[in-house]
Amino acid sequence: MRAFEAEQQYFHRAADHLGISSNIRKLLIVPKREVQVQVAIERDSGEVATFIGYRVQHDSSRGPMKGGLRYHPDVDLDEIRALAALMTWKTSVVNIPYGGAKGGIAIDIKQFSHRELERLTRKFVDEIHDLFGPDTDIPGPDMGTNAEVMAWIMNQYQKYHGFSPACVTGKPVELFGLPGREEATGRGVGIITLKTLGRLGRRIPGTRVAIQGFGNVGTHASKFLHESECKVVAVSDVSGGYHRPEGIDVPAALRYTTAHANARDVRAKIIIEAANGPTYPDADAVFDERGILVVPDILANAGGVTASYFEWAQNRQHYSWSLNRVRQELDRTMAESFETVWATATERKVSLRTAAYIVAIGRVGRATVLGGSV
Ligand code: GLU
């Protein structure tokens, strides 16, 4: 099963609960715009190489579209489409005024020099600079990209459009970035973990945690959970066979294992999805049947985009918050969103994933109907 099809299954399950008409479903599923551009650069060797750059803008009924830019060999249109839709639901679950988008280039960054990555990023911006911006679509970091890449994006965008730090988020703190943005996704995962343990009546100190993937999200999540007195017992992929300095691609790692079989081998009682789309629907069903609680990606890892929202808002106000204030606001947003999803799951007797989709689709659906966009 491909990523977009998996995402749609989750969507329809929640849409059935909400009794959403097929007309509205069509509007909510089909991405608003999909762009595919040729990104040609000169390699350090002097050879010209071309790559495909993608940007999928999924839905804008709740605000400008928002989502990361991914540099990873597995990137293709289907994956970016699925991830763009996830961003629509994610920004809605945490109730920040955005729609969803995602972009990427299918490259292995290990094969590129620093200067090549800069050329590639700037060239990509040359190709799509008219399609994004602070009021339309705001890129941010994702797998394989970081604050430096975001700085190149801002700089290149400004060559066309003038001063505009809010055109991209996840920038270096010294260059219109936000203190606390880098740790935010992992910290959010940590907050959601503590809230889940609390709701299950489990004692936090000594709780054993295994972290699959040890890049930006995994490292910050483990740091936060360690400081919260959880016992982090494993910090790598279960098979031990994956190593990527910038972070393990959990969906890809799962795909590499025998088709869907590992859902039966998981020994955890609770799974917090820090990656995007790490669980396919059939594995989700196995977890459900085995009584394993899954906290879905669109809630669990929403801390990153929430901090991006703070960065964007502050760039537009020319005002900056302290790290403490960022953490407080982030913790509050994550905790409130968790409670809303938990209450929905309890009321409707559905999984946390379906509950998160119900909350998200409900908000996007209402905005779509109220905006009268057909
Ligand atoms: N890559 C982040 C995510 O998957 C979002 C990046 C951003 O727009 O801040 O949630």
Contact 96, 309 (CB under 8 A): yes
- Where exactly are the structural domains of the chain? 31-170, 182-300
- Which pLDDT band holds residue 265 (cuts at 50, 70, 90)? confident
d(CA 236, CA 156): 36
Q: What is the CA radius of gyration of the chain?
A: 20
Which of 255-264, 335-344, 364-373 has the highest average model confidence (pLDDT)?
335-344
Output the CA 140–ligand 1 centroid distance in Å.
6
Spatial distance between the Cα atoms of 268 and 286, rounded to a whole number of angstroms: 13
Question: Distance from the CA of 304 to the center of ligand 1, in angstroms?
Answer: 6
339: which residues sit within 8 A by CB, 6+ positions away? 195
Between CA 165 and CA 354 the distance in angstroms is: 36
Output the pLDDT for position 21: 94
- How many whole angstroms separate alpha carbon 149 and alpha carbon 172? 9
* Residue 162 three-state SS: coil
Are 78 and 112 spatial neighbours (Cβ–Cβ below 8 Å)? no
- Do residues 164 and 157 make contact, with C-beta atoms less than 8 angstroms apart? yes
Reading the block at residue 357, the tokens are 């989709």
Q: Which residues are catalytic?
A: 102
Give the pLDDT confidence score for residue 243 in this predicted structure: 44
Mean pLDDT of 52-73: 98
Residue 165 CB–ligand 1 contact under 6 Å:
no
More reliable by pLDDT, 36 or 246 = 36
- Is residue 305 within 6 Å of ligand 1 at its C-beta? yes
Angle at 140 between CA 135 and CA 141, to 5 degrees: 175
Q: Cβ distance 55 to 131 under 8 Å?
A: yes
Probe target for ligand 1 pocket from 72, 182, 185, 334, with the most ligand atoms within 8 Å of CB: 185
Average pLDDT over residues 226-240: 79
Q: If you take atom 10 of ligand 1, which residue's CA is the nearest one?
A: 305
User: What CATH number is given for 182-300 in this structure?
Assistant: 3.40.50.720
Tokens 């890449």 locate to 149
Cα angle 79, 85, 90; round to 5: 120
Q: What are phi and psi of 37, to 5 degrees?
A: -130, 155
pTM to 2 decimal places? 0.93
Evaluate whether 31-170 and 182-300 have a shared fold: yes
- Point out the ligand 1 atom lying closest to the alpha carbon of residue 170: 9
Q: Which atom of ligand 1 lies at the shortest distance from residue 169's CA?
A: 9
Q: Residue 164 and residue 155: Cα distance in Å, rounded?
A: 9
Architecture of domain 31-170: 3-Layer(aba) Sandwich (3.40)
More confident residue, 4 or 241: 4
- Of ligand 1's atoms, which has the minimum distance to the CA of residue 66? 8
Contacts for 145 with CB less than 8 Å, ≥ 6 apart? 68, 69, 70, 71
Nearest to residue 55, comparing CAs of 150, 146, 131? 131
The pLDDT of residue 105 = 98
Report the pLDDT averaged over residues 148-170: 98
